[in-house]
């Protein structure tokens, strides 16, 4: 007999995944792009920064809209000066501010250059977020970088073999993959499933140069 997809079934799933997580000693995996030796994997990398709001009401979301709008121009100028950012999007989804970006090179260098270029502009945004980093961000650069890293979504490989290696390195039977995945998603609630690139392997500056848009 199968249970209906109602509250009891969901409760059962929660209990089960917590039990599995306890049994497997599951831990959150670090988010962000994985290191790679290939130069082409080191450009157009993705960051999916998820920042839950402190105030989870429409008022809180309105505060976030106002804070982002107030510094958007400065952020754009900062990103321009960083020079390695293809795209950055600021979105509110439910009660989270999302900053999703495509960037080139080392993640920590990107975030360091970003916050150093921006100065105070980002402080007004992160003030509204749960467990904000030490402020001002630019005075606590190391802490800010790690704060962003901890909120950068885990990137899941689409290949089942690679996925199994990531979420269940001790797994002996691929049929257990859904269980290991469920356990890991209990630890990493936000994940990236894929990222399409129309021009893989090219940096921002290479594209701007080819388009004669200056770099």
Partner 1 sequence: MSGVELSELQGNVLRGYRKNVARHIVARVRDAAAARAFLGAAARGEGPLPVTPGTDWGGAAPEILFNVGVTYAGLRALGVSERSARGLSRAFRKGAVSAAKTVGDYGCSAPEHWRPFWREADAVHLILTLHADDAGALDRGEAALPLGGGMEKLGAEEAAWFAPDIVHFGYRDNISQPRFRGFDPKGRWDDQPAAPLGVLLLGHPTGMEQISWSLPEPKVLGLNGSFGAFRVLEQDVEGFEAYLDSAAETLLGSSEADLLLPPGFEGGAEARRAMLREVVAAKFCGRWRSGTPLALSPFDPNPEPPVSDTDFDYSDDLDGVRCPMGSHLRRANPRSAKIVQRVANHTRRLVRRNMPYGPEFDPANPVKAERGLVGYFLCADLAAQFEAIQNDWINIGLQDPRITGANDPMIGDNDASASWFDIETKAGPVRLRGFPSFVRTRGSAYAFLPSMAALRWIGEIGAGSAAA
Q: Pick from 49, 99, 121, 145: which binds partner 1 (CB under 8 A)? A: 145
Whether the Cβ atoms of residue 85 and residue 57 lie closer than 8 Å to each other: no
Of the candidates 142, 159, 162, 176, which one interacts with partner 1 according to CB under 8 A?
142
Residue 28 CA to residue 151 CA, distance in Å, equals: 11
One of 33, 101, 113, 167 touching partner 1 (CB under 8 A): 113
- Nearest distance from residue 174's CB to partner 1, in Å? 27
Q: Which stretch binds partner 1 (CB under 8 A): 59-67, 121-129, 135-143, 163-171?
A: 135-143
Name the minimum Å distance from CB 75 to partner 1.
15
Q: Is 191 exposed, middle or buried (0-12, 13-18, 19+ CB in 10 A)?
A: middle
Handedness of CA 106, 100, 75, 86 (dihedral sign): positive
CA distance 126 to 209: 34
Could you say whether residue 209 binds partner 1 (CB under 8 A)? yes
**Edge-to-edge strand list for the sheet holding 85-93:** 45-52, 96-103, 85-93
Which of 95, 146, 150, 187 binds partner 1 (CB under 8 A)? It is 146
- Which residue, 114, 105, 111, 109, is CA-closest to 35? 105
Distance CA 176, CA 169 (A): 12
Q: According to the binding rule CB under 8 A, does residue 124 interact with partner 1?
A: no
215 touching partner 1, by CB under 8 A: yes
Q: Is residue 104 part of the contact set for partner 1 (CB under 8 A)?
A: yes
Examine residue 83 and tell whether it contacts partner 1 (CB under 8 A). yes
Closer of 182 and 205 to partner 1 (Cβ): 205
CB of 31 to partner 1, least distance (A): 16
Give the H or E element holding residue 89.
strand 85-93
Those residues with Cβ within 8 angstroms of residue 178's Cβ, 6 or more apart along the chain or in another chain:
none
Please report whether residue 40 would count as binding partner 1 according to CB under 8 A. yes
The contact set with partner 1 (CB under 8 A) reads: 35, 37, 39-40, 42-43, 81-84, 104-106, 108-109, 112-113, 116-117, 119, 138-142, 145-146, 201-206, 208-209, 215
């Amino acid at each position: 007999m199968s249970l209906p997809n109602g509250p009891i079934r969901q409760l059962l799933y929660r209990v089960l995944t917590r039990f599995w997580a306890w049994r497997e000693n599951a831990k959150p995996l670090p988010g962000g792009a994985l290191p790679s030796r290939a130069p082409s994997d080191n450009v157009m990398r993705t960051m999916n920064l998820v920042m839950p709001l402190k105030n989870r009401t429409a008022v809180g979301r309105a505060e976030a809209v106002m804070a982002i709008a107030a510094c958007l121009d400065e952020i754009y100028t900062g990103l321009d000066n960083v020079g390695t950012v293809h795209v950055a999007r600021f979105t509110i989804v439910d009660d989270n501010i999302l900053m999703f970006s495509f960037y080139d090179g080392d993640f920590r260098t990107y975030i360091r250059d970003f916050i150093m270029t921006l100065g105070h502009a980002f402080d007004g945004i992160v003030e509204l977020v749960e467990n904000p980093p030490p402020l001002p961000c630019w005075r606590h650069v190391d802490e800010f970088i790690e704060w962003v890293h901890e909120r950068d979504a885990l990137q899941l490989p689409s290949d089942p073999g690679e996925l199994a290696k990531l979420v269940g390195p001790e797994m002996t039977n691929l049929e257990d993959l859904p269980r290991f995945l469920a356990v890991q998603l209990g630890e990493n609630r936000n994940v990236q499933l894929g990222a399409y690139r129309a021009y893989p392997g090219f940096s921002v500056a290479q594209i701007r140069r080819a388009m004669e848009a200056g770099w």
